[in-house]
A = this chain, B = another copy of it.
Amino acid sequence: MTLEAVLSALAACKVEPKGSLAHDATTIDPASWTSALERAPSHDASTPSAYKLTKTLVFKPGKPKTDEWTPVMVIAREETNTRALKTFCGQLGLSDLRLADDKHIEGKYGAQKNSVSALSLNEDRINISVVVLDSTIASSDEIFAVKAASSEGTVFLAGRDIHAYLQSLDKSSQKLHVVDFAKLAEEEAASAAASSSHPAPIAKAAAPTKKTDARIEDAHQLAIGVKKEVDFSTWYTNVLVKSEMLDYYNVSGCYILKPWSYSIWETIQRWFDNEIKELGVENSYFPMFVSSKVLEREKDHIEGFAPEVAWVTRAGSSELEEPIAIRPTSETVMYPYYAKWIQSHRDFPLKLNQWNSVVRWEFKTPQPFLRTREFLWQEGHTAFLTKDEADVEVRQILDLYRRVYEELLAVPVVPGIKSEKEKFAGGLYTTTVEGFIPTTGRGIQGATSHCLGQNFSKMFDISVEDPNATAKGERLYAWQNSWGLSTRTIGVMVMVHGDNQGLVLPPRVANIQVVIVPCGVNEKTRQKVYDACDEVAKQLKKVGIRAKADLRDTYLPGWKFNYWEQKGVPVRLEIGPKDIEKKQAIVARRDNSEKSTISVENLKSDIPSLLERIQADMFTRAKEVFDQRLIEVTKWEDVVPTLDNKCVAVIPWCEVEACEDDIKERSGRSAEQTDERAPSAGAKSLAIPFDQSRWPAIEPGKTKCPACGGDAKRWTMFGRSY
């Protein structure tokens, strides 16, 4: 690549170099590079006064099975000791790494080792790589020399700009890893020390010691890689991948739901499906395809979805006569048939639901569970003769959604109504259960239950003759609702409860609630301990507990502790030879790390109540946090500081749409950007809570909207959001 090409690539990403230089060819030897830089004709004019050299190392697996091996590119300060890379890569499942030779580097990056650098990357190349950036570069304002994808050119970039540039290339947000090599090396050393003093499975029996626990904690931090409070986005995706909930997929914005997350969805499905069947809702399945004519029938509605609709235009080798859309939601798929099926008032109510996937081809950065191009959900579509019936159902369903969050996922939500600006396109009004992610201070829409009014029924002619009409031929139009709950639930749960050890699962949705780990066995005691573990699992299963004895021979107890903690299993039982003698087990709670001893005799009653206690505690803790972050704000100047303080501002609002636009614009302008992946730093209205009683009564004509000074109507939650 030429220096010009490199500079224009940087410009395209709005990264401004601090200088650039053409020079004689150099090698990977830093002395050679320094000398070439200093001897360059325009050195003085084009070079910053101070800069640090970088190095770029490319690794490959020892014996790649095919050409499709994943290269690991390390970009570090010249002086950084990158030895701990091995540990880091091991956690990514990459082992046996060797320095790649010129042929291999050239094959992947079109440059040889003398030339290759961060600037050899582009979107495609980063996509097939693991890129590891030295954290002392990523967070630094110092200036670094980077080879211009050539041994004959150098670009000077601020550390933060190198980071920003790589982030802009890494569309999937999964290829770039910022690593603190020094810290990693330290932790590795501590871990190795602890490990050597830790009994191997064939060593004599020993209860887990304090030292063991320390080791486990360290190991966990290694595994998740980053701290929740420090780099929330990376933490989130790491937790999902490490806990085996999810894997990335080679179509951008699509993810694989592995059994560990899908089983949570199944639990939600079972519970919600039973509840709606009690309400008389029946399941059905409508096709995933919609003709463009039908899709575009309702104007407001389609305007809301059009930019994200995926179109099928070809089948086999034939072009379709008309492109066919994949449903982004099924209102327009279903309602022409509602019009056909509803012929008289006796055909009301019609209540159908389906469990399916929908496609919304988002162009914003995707985020697993929260913003994906295909996602799983249920969509209920009901039609009633009267508005009253529709109104009642909207709230019944919303309360079921609240219960999914609060009772199954232990996630507190605030039920409320959306502002006119935020309501469902084409509907009458939208109700929501609004969640909150404390770490980022952002609100998140949990699930919505819409009253569509008569807008769609008039559009699609879902009408009957008025049975009470005096004049013949008067028609009554259906009152309709639609309501949906998606796998987003799982993402919210992970964000709220997860910690630096990984996932924390509420017992009611955990596919394994109790894991039993044999500890401190030797060849003599092994079988006895294994049998005891197995028996405990059986006993627990008999009382309906989802228990599993982890009897794998090939892993140490400490490794198993890590593994199941990372996966968020609510309770761990440890059983060793001495525990058997004492008819006891050690019980460890995942949610608060408490450990205690429990009598084996009482397990069948104590464990179920412990699980319920954990469930309740998790909810209570999360609720306390959410409550503390709902801040009553009555002066405009307090709004942005409240948001910056990771809180939601609850203001007495005028409910005027222009005022909402204004709040968004003003709060966005002054706001500090805290999470670059989140869609917006401006605040929008999250919900107008149904329960207004927690705030002082609004005095009509007296209480004023702090944003515009108009008459306030209701207390409304404003916040940054997902």
Residue among A285, A352, A374, A473 with the highest chain B CB neighbour number at 10 A: A285
A340 and B93 within 8 A (CB) = yes
Tell me if B324 and A251 are in contact (CB < 8 A): yes
CB–CB B263/A282 < 8 A: yes
- Chain B residues near A356 (CB-CB < 8 A): 357
Most buried by B among A312, A318, A337: A312
User: Residues of B contacting A365 with CB < 8 Å?
Assistant: none
| Proximity string of chain A (321-353) to chain B, C-beta cutoff 8 Å, 1 when within and 0 when not | 001101000000000110011010010000010
Q: Are A250 and B336 in contact (CB under 8 A)?
A: yes
Residues of chain B contacted by A284 (CB below 8 angstroms): 256-259, 262
Q: Which of A286, A307, A316, A359 has the most CB of B within 10 A?
A: A316
Cβ contacts under 8 Å, A283 to chain B: 259, 262-263, 266
Stretch from A289-297, A400-408, A434-442 contacting the other chain: A289-297
- Is B316 within 8 A of A251, CB to CB? no
Instruction: Compute how far the CA of A357 lies from the CA of B286 in the bound complex, rounded to whole angstroms.
Output: 11
Do the beta carbons of A314 and B310 come within 8 Å of each other?
yes
CB-contact partner of A287 in B249, B311, B554, under 8 A: B249
Which chain B residues border A314 with CB–CB below 8 Å?
310-311, 313, 323
Chain B residue numbers with a CB within 8 Å of A310 are: 312, 314-315
A33 at the interface (CB under 8 A from B): no
Give the distance in Å from the alpha carbon of A528 to the alpha carbon of B254 in the complex. 59
Interface string of A274-307 (1 = CB under 8 A from B): 0000000011111111110010000000000011
A374 in contact with B291 given A262-B283, A316-B307 (CB within 8 Å): no
CB of A229 within 8 Å of the partner chain: no
A262 touches B285 (CB 8 A): yes
Q: Does A235 contact B (CB under 8 A)?
A: no
Contact partners of A317 in chain B: CB under 8 A:
307
Query: A309 an interface residue at 8 Å Cβ cutoff?
Result: yes
Which of the listed residues A266, A311, A374 has the most CB atoms from chain B within 10 Å of its own CB? A311
Residues of A in contact, count (CB < 8 Å): 66
Known: A266-B283, A291-B251. A256 touches B312 (CB 8 A): no
Given A93-B343, A324-B251, the answer on whether A285 and B313 have CB atoms closer than 8 Å is no
How would you classify the secondary structure of chain A's contact residues: helix, strand, loop or mixed?
mixed
- Chain B residues, Cβ within 8 Å of A250: 291, 294, 336
Q: Is A135's CB within 8 Å of the partner chain B? A: no
Contacting residues, chain B, for A461 (C-beta < 8 A)? 65-66
Specify which chain B residues have a CB less than 8 angstroms from the CB of A247 in the assembled complex. Answer: 337, 340-341
Residues of B within 8 A of A346 (CB): 552, 554
B251–A289 CB distance below 8 A: yes
Whether A282 contacts B307 by the Cβ 8 Å rule is no
| Chain B min CB distance to A40 (Å) | 39
Contact A463 B65 (CB under 8 A): yes
List residues 221-262 of chain A with CB under 8 A from any CB of chain B.
247, 249-251, 254-259, 262
Question: Smallest distance from the beta carbon of A707 to chain B beta carbons, Å?
Answer: 33
Q: Is A361 an interface residue (CB 8 A)?
A: yes
Closest residue to A282 on the B side, CB-wise? Answer: B259
Rounded to whole angstroms, the CA-CA distance of A316 and B308 in the bound complex is 5
Chain B neighbourhood of A306, CB < 8 A: 316
Q: Which residue of B has the minimal Cβ distance to A95?
A: B343
Residues from chain B with a CB closer than 8 A to the CB of A582 are: none
Decide yes or no whether A376 CB sits under 8 A from chain B. yes
Complex CA–CA separation, A640 to B311 (angstroms) = 47
* Contact of B463 with A287 in the complex, beta carbons under 8 Å: no
Contact with B along A352-370 (1 / 0, CB 8 A): 1000110101010000000
User: What is the bound-complex CA distance between A554 and B467, given in angstroms?
Assistant: 13
Contact A315 B308 (CB under 8 A): yes
Q: Is the CB of A311 within 8 A of B308?
A: no
The answer to whether A524 has its CB under 8 Å from any CB of chain B is no
Is A63 located at the chain interface by the 8 A CB criterion? yes
Could you say which of A249, A290, A308, A352 has the most chain B C-beta atoms within 10 Å of its C-beta? Answer: A249
Min CB gap A316→B, angstroms: 4
Residue among A263, A294, A315, A473 with the most chain B CB within 10 A? A315
Chain B CB within 10 Å — which of A66, A93, A317, A324 has the most?
A324
Which residues from chain B contact A256 at a C-beta distance below 8 Å?
284-287, 337
Q: How far is the CA of A352 from the CA of B308 in the complex (A)?
A: 31
In the complex, what's the smallest C-beta–C-beta distance from A246 to chain B, in angstroms? 10
Identify the A interface with B (CB < 8 A).
63, 65-66, 93, 247, 249-251, 254-259, 262-263, 265-266, 282-291, 294, 306-318, 323-324, 326, 336-337, 340-341, 343, 346, 352, 356-357, 359, 361, 363, 373-374, 376, 461, 463, 473, 475, 552, 554
Write 15 A-B pairs (CB below 8 A) sorted by A numbering. A93-B343, A247-B341, A251-B289, A251-B324, A257-B284, A257-B285, A262-B282, A288-B359, A288-B374, A289-B373, A307-B317, A311-B312, A314-B323, A315-B361, A316-B361
